[in-house]
Chains A and B, each alone.
Chain A
Amino acid sequence: MSFSIPDAPLGSAGVLEILAPKWRSQLARLRQARSGSGARALLLALLGGGFWLAVFGLSYRVLKFIKGVEEIGPLLAGKLLAVGLLSFAAILLLSNLVTALSTFFLAKDLDMLVAAPVDWIWFYLAKLGETLAHSSWMVVLMVVPILTAYGVVFGGGPLFPLVALGTLLPFFLLPTVVGSVITLVLVNVFPARRARDLLSLVALSVIAGLVLFLRLAQPEQLSTPEGYRNLLDFIAKLSAPTHPLLPSEWAASALMNWLLRVRDPLPLLLLWSTAGAFIVIGASFHRRLYMPGFTKSQEGANRRMGGTVWHRLVRRLLAWLPVTRREFVLKDLKVFFRDATQWSQLILLAVLLIVYVFNIRALPLYTGEKVPYVVVTLVVFLNQGLGGFVLSAIAARFIFPAVSLEGRQLWLLRSSPLDLKAMLWSKYWVGTLPLLGLALGIAMVTNLMLQAPPFMLLLSLMTTVCYTLAVGALALGLGVLFPQFETENAAQIPTSFGGLVFMMAAVSLLTLIIVIEAVPVAEHLRAWQAGEAAGSSTALLLAMGAVFVLCALTTVLPLQIGLRRLAALDA
């Protein structure tokens, strides 16, 4: 028997061939989605459409106003666009750093591609294209309604989308090339997994900083007539970091030139020539550093873990638990605090809490004049809604992914004599108890800041306890119903379809609670205005009873359904 190898050299695969499995998989996924439930597609379409309309509407209103500012209107619009594009470039650069690490060094197809006779330049371009697509799609979704508003307000005409495409493509390519080069250098210095943790952390911290900066700049002041007078100051403050040599400035100029009918091709030429030059530089870096980096990325990042004082302390604190539950809780805590993709979410949590407390502080309630009792009561009441929403977001981040994260180890849990009920309840308390402490803390702090009346304080604390217990169970239960077993990054799980369903369910529950409690609060206010001693305690008791029953059902039912689903799950 002979096995002949062809004499002629094999033809090297091009970019399209290298990326074929990716786009074919996407097409297959789309076909599966189309043949699947229509409700899911409809829900996503409604949410996406709503989001686009909201961004378009807001951009349109702001641009309409800016255009009306005498003499400097178009200039301001251009400045605003440059600032927006600069922010997007910063986000894109961070996103590319993390994405390039996956596509160039950690992806599952790399072994096959590196082993195949693929020309390095096609490999580089294909992986660059993949990085570009993965890191930029969210920014594209955001940019489309904003640029549509620019096109509509300034009369961009039917060719404006093509101009926008020709401008944004090189603009998006630049952070992709720069991000890939930085990642390439980093991987040559650190092990790939350590570099991933480091980059995720940096990216998250910068995004959190950006959110904080934008919030603390108090953009709500612009919504008042007096605020519009400060718009110039605001834009000046925001545009301070821009510079004529930044690509965001060129992209904004290229777009504004078209919209204002200025014949100046220089910005577009600068963008394309710089993007071309950067690709060449990136390719030469890739040629020299990729193979040493790829080799290094195969090496494990050894980390020794001794029995620290902290471990011993937690073990002693949990000594009262039965051994199975104790080991389960300890395992969950260790895995959480050792996985950067999980614990780094705490940064987002801190930002969320700071923004929330800042929002309460920024309310124009106590400016020296006496605030009517009715207003204070209503604000405190509505604060419950805001607080509830924050709690739901935290539950989505930390409790919803709990079962999905067991995915690959489910064989062990299912083949061992572990009581699934005990496991689910362990996960429930591990997630919900810290959430409850946090919830009571923020309810107390914000109510004290708002100088809530005792009646409202009591109602708020009782509601917080009931809602937190319910939302924890809802998050865990829906996490079992919509598991994401294949996801390695915990941060991606809350943004899945199931995460969306959970947020909608949590907000619906919150709305229902607020509607139920509105009755005794209204009764209380009516009694206060009529000069009576206090609101009807019967209405209050009935409402609290109804909220209690609702929350108890929302606690027990999702856990029971989740348990049944978990038992039937094919691991």
Chain B
Amino acid sequence: MIELTGLTKRYGRFTAVDGITLTIPPGALYGLLGPNGAGKTTTMRMIAGILQPTAGTIRIAGIDLWGEPLRAKSRMGFIPDRPFVYDKLTGAEFLRFVAGLYGQDGASIDRRIDELLELFDLLPWKDELTESYSHGMRQKLIIGSALLHRPEVIVVDEPMVGLDPKSARLLKDLLRQFAGRGGTVLMSTHTLEIAEAMCDRIAIVQAGRIVAAGTMDELRAHTSSGDASLEELFLKLTGGLAERELSELFDS
């Protein structure tokens, strides 16, 4: 379960995230959508414990993230949008290091590492330095590292970037199964089709605030949009260029 109360982040006079309050129950797969610069990544990084909020509270599985950070973080797996890993460690060494960060050791961890590497088709590259991995391979390694310690909550920022169709499908299935077994997933994405197909509930963020939240039906009702697609709802809520304006851009 993730609970955000009045979550705010300011950089000087600029407010990136403005008082977000949200509760994501166990078993839910929640999507966070919004245009570029809306504050999605800042929100995700605050929930992951990487950025300190200016105001507000974050509770992970009922534990205050900034009150008991180590306990709260040990319940969570975070998948960032940019897959930075240690170039001079091999894939297996990286996973072993991450397991160590979560206090896990022993033969069972070695088995789990091999399982995850096999799941993501990385076993043949197990002993290669990650500097020779492609973007997608690094992304898969990081996804594996987030699942290594069997978290209760997964926070994932732009999950499909760099993944091949097979891995993207695998990740979708993994996240759905994870939520189906009572886990909580918060996912930010620009790919509206993925959000529409995967998420139980969706929040649309603009200028640091949630402008609409709920199931697809609730969002349609909120915007009086009949049976509109998520893309149409998104553009209606966040504003987008009309086709006429796009034509003018190219014709000029």
Contact = CB atoms under 8 A, between A and B. Distances in A.
B is a partner of A: yes
Interface of A: 1-4, 193, 300-306, 322-324, 326-328, 330-331, 334-335, 338-339, 408-419, 567-568, 570-571
Given A4-B250, A300-B131, A411 B102 contact: no
A334 B89 contact: yes
26 contacts: A4-B250, A300-B133, A302-B132, A303-B128, A305-B93, A305-B127, A305-B128, A305-B129, A306-B127, A323-B103, A327-B96, A327-B100, A335-B86, A409-B84, A409-B85, A411-B45, A411-B78, A411-B80, A415-B49, A415-B50, A416-B73, A416-B98, A418-B70, A419-B70, A567-B52, A570-B52
A412 B103 contact: no
B166 to A, nearest CB: 21
B48 interface: yes
Contacts of A567: 52
A310 to B, nearest CB: 14
A410 to B, nearest CB: 8
A190 to B, nearest CB: 14
B97 interface: yes
Nearest to A340: B88
B80 A570 contact: no
Interface string B87-126: 1111001001111111111000000000000000000000
Interface of B: 45, 48-52, 69-74, 76, 78, 80, 84-90, 93, 96-105, 127-129, 131-133, 145, 243, 246-247, 250-251
B50 A416 contact: no
B89 A323 contact: no
Nearest to B71: A417
Contact of A327 (B74, B88, B99, B133): B99
The 9 A-B pairs with the shortest beta carbon distances in the complex, nearest first, are: A327-B100, A300-B132, A408-B84, A338-B88, A416-B101, A417-B74, A415-B78, A417-B73, A415-B48
B73 A334 contact: no
B48 A414 contact: yes
Contacts of A306: 127
A410 B87 CA distance: 14
A335 to B, nearest CB: 5
B100 A411 contact: no
Contact of B100 (A1, A4, A304, A328): A328
A568 B54 CA distance: 11
Contacts of B71: 417
Contacts of B97: 327-328, 330-331
Contacts of A193: 131
Contacts of A301: 131-132
Contacts of B51: 570-571
Contacts of B49: 414-415
Contacts of B131: 193, 300-301, 303
A409 B51 CA distance: 14
B97 to A, nearest CB: 5
Contacts of A414: 48-50
Contact of A324 (B45, B96, B103): B103
A305 B96 CA distance: 14
Contact of B98 (A2, A4, A305, A412): A412
A303 B129 CA distance: 6
Contacts of B96: 327
Contacts of A339: 87-88
A338 B247 CA distance: 54
Contacts of B133: 300
Contacts of A327: 96-97, 99-101
A571 B246 CA distance: 37
A338 B129 contact: yes
Given A323-B103, A419-B70, A334 B88 contact: yes
B243 to A, nearest CB: 7
Contact of A571 (B50, B70, B76, B99): B50
B52 A335 contact: no
A419 B99 CA distance: 14
Nearest to B47: A415
Contacts of A418: 70, 101
A417 B102 contact: yes
Contacts of A409: 84-86
Contacts of A412: 84-85, 98, 101, 145
Nearest to B51: A570
A568 B52 contact: yes
B249 to A, nearest CB: 10
A304 B103 contact: no
Given A303-B132, A570-B52, A571-B51, 7 more contacts: A305-B128, A323-B105, A324-B100, A331-B86, A414-B49, A415-B49, A416-B73
Contact of B89 (A3, A328, A335, A411): A335
A1 B86 contact: no
